[in-house]
Structure 1
Amino acid sequence: MSTRVVHFVVPEGVDDPARVSGGNVCDLRVRDGLQTLGWAVRLTPADPDAASDVFARLPAGGLVLIDGLVAGRSPGAVEALARRARVVVLAHMVSAAFADADLDTVDGEHRALRAAHAVVTTSAWTRDELVRRGLVAPDRVFVATPGADRATPAVGTPHGMALLCVGVVAAHKGQDVLVEALAGLRGEPSWTCTIAGSLDADPAYADLVGELAHAAGLAERVRMPGALARDGLEGAYRDADLLVAPSLVESYGMAIADALGRGIPVIASDVGGIPEAVAPSGAAVLVPPGDPAALRDALARWIHDPALRDRLTGEARRSRGVRTSWTDTAARVAEALEAVR
């Protein structure tokens, strides 16, 4: 059988520890999974805003998988490439779902997705949004839910009050909502919260979150260490009792899957693909997005109700083995690639 070759165009810095993101992690794990399945993956980094030269060097008639961030910022190059090669776009998000998305970004995404021969989304919610918006025909979309490694169960703390929030510090992740919710709980002396994620994507917003914590008198209880390298992130999960995901927009929620895979329960926004990320576990409490009072009340229940903590933690530990694996994710991507070969 001939070797299956795919050129995988990803953002520059995809493996830079300082730029850790769900999309970058997903790209690298998909690459690894495809290689395990027997594909020859030619990883090709590209500047999302200047990918035309990279696309021009790809072979005519070749099979190309493109990260959606790159595709959406270089729609003309994707359209040209799709006329001479077979193109599949891996869409991690729906730009139009972001309140602050500019028209050029949204239009670029529309053009790139329409030009692609197939699209892979990371959640059924993302697929449904793209179809609803008329960007992709239903028969051209494949869903490849991100995997989660079966990791060592978290140890947590004796009192159960170590909160963890993982993700780039940016407005759509809602860390300001989390700090506002925690401000309403400053009279509770037992909790601490680590907000782990890059502070460089939106420095002004990251500064705002830090300022909110300081103004609320929480500077010593809300820790913002920035993006954590692998060992640091493993340590953060190991010591956590509860993951909090206050996103305003979320296509899936890889940190949620990672936490549940370690037996850590979750309080998260009921938005986008997050309900998929927590299913089928009963170890999550979902609250309306952008609602500090609802999030505060959910956290207060966690703090004051040991039976609730025990129930959610027990369910998280029981359901660790039902998470999607990265091999499953890569197999779904491979289906999309095979469909256009």
Structure 2
Amino acid sequence: MQKLVFAYPGDIDTPTGGYGYDRRIIAGLQALGWQVELLPLGPGFPFPSAETLDDVRRKLEDLPSETCLVVDGLAYGVLAEAAEAVSRRMTLIALVHHPLCQENGLGSDNAEDLLASERQALSFARHVIVTSAATATQVEELFTIPKEQITVILPGNERQEPVLRQPSETLKLLAVGTVVPRKGYDLLFEALKELSTHQWQLDIVGGIDVDPKCYLSLLVQVDACGFADCITFHGAISPDELSGFYRRADVFVLASRYEGYGMAYTEALAHGLPVIGSGGGAVRDTLPEEAAIYCGTENVGLLREALELMMSDRVKRSTMAEAARVAALKLPSWEDAATRFADVLKVAKT
């Protein structure tokens, strides 16, 4: 039986795309016969306390030699010292969802520190798994990791039953993502500000506790724009509840400043939703032209135009919804992703 230790920061049940990827890969590996030991690394990443770092070093040092160890990138990028130590006697794999130094809202000092730390840590990895081609390019260029040491394993997708959406005078918009500056909710609100002649409702699903300052700022913006009756923050919810939101929505929109991949976009496509999105190369590569409108990055004007089109053209929405269903059928499954992950681990161990 193949064995693996999967190390992760925080709570693996956190309802975000990154943790969701981890959970599905772990479940897929187990279904393939792998014995997966979960190793929690503690809270506070990517800025853990000294006590947490000391505890992580002890946990990793206690692992047997020849262990196959996968470490989630949210923690891995700040574990250079520990990575160097264990890399001498283990197969060390880094799973990078997106570079830590690319997170929005970092001060220049923090960004530079994370860049240096992640570059050093990744130099000790036997192999690096990333979740998009765009992230692979960033890892290669930012951290000088050879292309042959990087493998792209796209997130999987679940097939969904077709949804028959009833016409309504109020367009139901859905945005899914943790409430942090990177998700661009402020940009979305700005784009919606001049569309008051249309009837719309925006539901936002995603944790509100990660960055309380950002959440409070958005509440102020909602009030200033007069959107109190139009926008609802639902916080973090279960996967079953989330599927219900996708099925009740008419259009998916997310104004991200950056995404390592953007699982919410493909989940929206799987539910037959037209998509309005932004967030750099990974998002642009993910969104099919027939089913989505890509709005670049931080382009409020394009966001507004796309939203107005969806609000005013029911035929266009219907056409894009059908294209979304077709595009979703071409997306990889989680079984595909887990099989590829297993293949990378087997090769890395040899």
1:132 and 2:137 are equivalent in the alignment: no
Query: Which residue type is aligned with residue 345 of structure 2?
Result: L
Letter aligned with residue 285 of structure 1:
I
SS at match of 2:6: strand
**Residue of structure 2 in register with 1:11 after alignment:** 9
1:165 lines up with 2:175 in the alignment: yes
1:221-236 aligned at under 5 Å gives the runs: 221-236=230-245
**Counterpart in 1 of 2:249?**
240
Q: Tell me the residue number matched to 2:204.
A: 195
1:317 is displaced (CA, Å) by 2.2
Map Cα deviations across residues 262-290 of structure 1 (whole Å, 9 max, x no partner): 111100015131123224x6201000211
Aligned residues: CA RMSD? 1.5
Does 2:299 correspond to 1:301? no
Quote the residue 1:253 is aligned against: 262
Query: d(CA) in 1 for partners of 2:157 and 2:284?
Result: 16
Distance in 2 (CA, whole Å) between partners of 1:326 and 1:332 is 10
Deviations 1:207-249 (A, max 9, x none): 1112111110111111101111223212111101111011001
Match of 1:26 in 2: 21
Contact 1:113 1:135 in 2 (8 A): no
Q: Aligned partners of 2:165, 2:212: CA distance in 1, in Å?
A: 30
> How many residues were matched structurally?
334
Matched residue SS, 1:7: strand
Change in 2 beyond 3 A, CA 1:113/1:156: farther
Distance in 2 (alpha carbons) for counterparts of 1:317 and 1:99: 32
**CA drift at 1:145:** 0.3
Cα distance in 1 between the residues matched to 2:285 and 2:71? 24
What do residues 288-323 of structure 1 show as CA deviations (whole Å, max 9, x unaligned)?
A: 211222101110011112221121112112333222
The answer (yes or no) to whether the contact 1:245–1:268 under 8 Å persists in 2 is yes
Gaps of 5+ in 1: none
Retained in 2: the 8 A contact 1:90–1:120? yes
Match of 1:37 among 24, 32, 41: 32
Q: Report the alpha carbon displacement of residue 157 of structure 1 after superposing the two structures with TM.
A: 4.4
1 CA distance for matches of 2:162 and 2:210? 31
What is the distance in 1 between the residues matched to 2:144 and 2:29?
26
Q: Which has the higher contact order (CA 8 A, sep 6+)?
A: 1
What are the superposed Cα offsets for residues 173-217 of structure 1, whole Å, 9 maximum, x if unpaired? Answer: 1011011111111221x2100111000111110111121111101
1:180 aligns with 2:180: no
Matched, 1:337 2:341: no
- Tell me the CA shift for residue 155 of structure 1: 4.3
Match of residue 324 from structure 2: 316
Contact 2:156 2:333 in 1 (8 A): yes
How far has the Cα of 1:43 moved from its partner? 1.3
Shift of 1:106: 2.2
- For the 8 Å contact 1:267–1:284, the answer to whether it is kept is yes
SS class of match (2:173): strand
- So what's the TM-score if we normalise by structure 2? 0.91
Identity of aligned residues (%): 32
SS of 1:42's equivalent in the other structure is strand
The unaligned stretches of length 5 or more in structure 2 are none
Aligned partners of 1:270, 1:91: CA distance in 2, in Å? 17
| Stretch moving more, 324-333 or 268-277 | 268-277
Mapping 1:79-94, distance limit 5 Å: 79-94=84-99
**Are residue 74 (structure 1) and residue 84 (structure 2) matched?**
no
Q: Which amino acid aligns with 1:88?
A: I
Q: Identify the residue that residue 132 of structure 2 maps to in structure 1.
A: 123
Counterpart of 2:299?
291
Secondary structure, in 3 states, of the residue corresponding to 2:210?
A: coil
- Taking a change above 3 Å as real, the CA distance of residues 246 and 42 of structure 1, as seen in their structure-2 partners, is same
2:192 pairs with 1:214: no
> What is the CA–CA distance in structure 1 between the aligned matches of 2:270 and 2:332, rounded to whole Å?
9
**What CA distance in whole angstroms lies between the structure 1 residues aligned with 2:82 and 2:126?**
14
**Counterparts in 2 of 1:270 and 1:131: CA distance versus 1, 3 Å:** same
Contact 1:154 / 1:240 at 8 angstroms: preserved in 2? no
Contact 2:259 2:279 in 1 (8 A): no
